[in-house]
Structure 1
């Protein structure tokens, strides 16, 4: 299909490719600046969008058609934002090629952003979880709660990344769907300390899997975990029931680490942000604002600054 636009000087003839042509172009470029896990998520969403719009000329798609479809899917606000991100990027590629004269996604109402609600575990709950578990499950929980590592980072951790002598862990990858990929962002590739309270659990896990000279956690026939979902299905839900603790995602162990660090008053927000692998301290303020005390409260007023 060819789309002609009238111009006072001379007509401009534009080539209108199908939607899927620009969808592929967008994802190909996106691969260079997002994590492997995000790309896989985008690919799954894009397959669904292409099934609906793929063969249609991109210039024929209207705001109402696109909006009605994505809002009919019944997804949450966060997932809807992912759909809109992909659609926006796809139409933007067509706009760059002058295959369309405007990006229809600019006229689609975005879902309202909701403040992330976190439910960190209490000290008593963490003690219950550690006391009621054993073996690799106990060590997994300890690693999560004493480092704030993301689940994919824990599953992808290898013994070569653990430096017992100097007390550090290098986080270099994240594992999803049985594949090692890059960390969530460039700042997520980081070095974190092994606190003394974590060391016994790490040494215990070392006895279990170090001879395999591969991943830290290899609980199933000496094979690495496919992803964090395995831990959730096999161990986490049942453990929470045994401890009589309401269900919360494993990710809340990361929130627990962050809030414990903030409440201790011994670490600056910059240090905590670095340990969590955030791009900036703003993320810390957005999610954990109520746990951050004003640093002015800790100022030593007896210091002579002159």
Structure 2
């Protein structure tokens, strides 16, 4: 923008388009016009069109606000999605240029509904709401329904025979960790964050009140994740064996170097090598959680107890995920699955 005087009146030159401000050329008016250069009302008043802030600028403002409220690991995830999914499509575009049709095209590039939902509800919708408030647009283009997306993720729990094979393999570097995982259903980050003060051998319980991810030990995301769970005999076996290794340390599980694991990804390479050695299908270590739930429900364990062990918000979440494994509800825990005679690792 350039201001110039014509017959004592201030004119505005923007990209070669000259418009009269109808204001006298005075120091006060010049300062006023310069200060209001990026103000929407100013351009409406003098009929000078501008594109204003870009979509990405509005998104960055939303992310800056989220930084004040969210945990570091969560905000990293937001910024990662911003860079990988939002920037490529919305770069150098302005709010008024985005139409519902363009949003629909962008939706078609997603294969995962969770990722799409985070981008839209967590970043873009607040950004466009701010654009409306600031007067850059009058309505949001996000009136298009999410497409039907099928997740590539599939639950592939291990069988009892596979569990025993994994836990008896001599070259298994994570034997004790996996023993706890298979017999608690706890999330990988929750197990990595366990400290010996969380383990109560006398009352046979384990307190889960934190998780480990991206090198940070933090509180779990939901209230239901804070829980005290039963220490099953099989789990106790592996915890007592682990105590012989790291019992003098603060954390239950440590790397061979004696340092704490940063996140579940630290286990991936060794885990996949273990599965390959045992000729087992490659799958994520998170399947240990599904294994616990599916095997317990298949063996007629109380669904409510399973739900509490998993840290689900309510029973409906457990039943929705694992309905196909549910047979007949039974109060109390069935002993067949948890009989030490079944597992060879306990026969010493």
Normalised by the shorter chain, which TM-score bucket? 0.7 to 0.9
Q: CA 1:294–1:96 in 2, change beyond 3 Å: closer, same or farther?
A: farther
Q: TM-score, normalised by structure 1?
A: 0.79
In the alignment, the residues of structure 2 paired with residue 278 and residue 241 of structure 1 have an alpha-carbon distance, to the nearest angstrom, of 32
Task: Number of aligned residue pairs: give it.
Answer: 286
Cα offset for 1:162?
Answer: 1.7
Greater per-residue helix proportion? 1
In the alignment, the residues of structure 2 paired with residue 94 and residue 194 of structure 1 have an alpha-carbon distance, to the nearest angstrom, of 53
In the alignment, the residues of structure 2 paired with residue 69 and residue 54 of structure 1 have an alpha-carbon distance, to the nearest angstrom, of 13
Give SS of 2:258's match.
coil
Q: Does 1:100 align with 2:137?
A: yes
Cα offset for 1:113?
Answer: 4.7
1:231 alignment partner in structure 2? 267
Q: Does 1:250 align with 2:285?
A: yes
1:157 alignment partner in structure 2? 194
Q: CA RMSD in A?
A: 3.2
Q: CA 1:288–1:92 in 2, change beyond 3 Å: closer, same or farther?
A: farther
Q: CA 1:29–1:201 in 2, change beyond 3 Å: closer, same or farther?
A: same
From 221, 240, 243, the counterpart of 1:206: 243
Give SS of 2:142's match.
helix
2:165 alignment partner in structure 1? 128
Larger radius of gyration: 2
Q: Does 1:139 align with 2:176?
A: yes
Structure with higher RCO (Cα < 8 A, 6+ apart): 1
Cα offset for 1:92?
Answer: 3.8
Cα offset for 1:93?
Answer: 4.5
Give SS of 1:248's match.
coil
Contact kept, 8 Å, 1:34 with 1:185, in 2: the verdict is: no
Cα offset for 1:98?
Answer: 5.7
Which residues of structure 1 form unaligned runs of 5+?
5-14, 299-306
5 Å matches for 1:227-306?
Answer: 227-233=263-269, 235-267=270-302, 269-295=303-329
In the alignment, the residues of structure 2 paired with residue 283 and residue 35 of structure 1 have an alpha-carbon distance, to the nearest angstrom, of 25
Which residues of structure 2 form unaligned runs of 5+?
1-37, 42-50, 332-348
CA deviation vs aligned residue, 1:14-55 (integer Å, no higher than 9, x gap): x96443444245445656887654433222112342465366
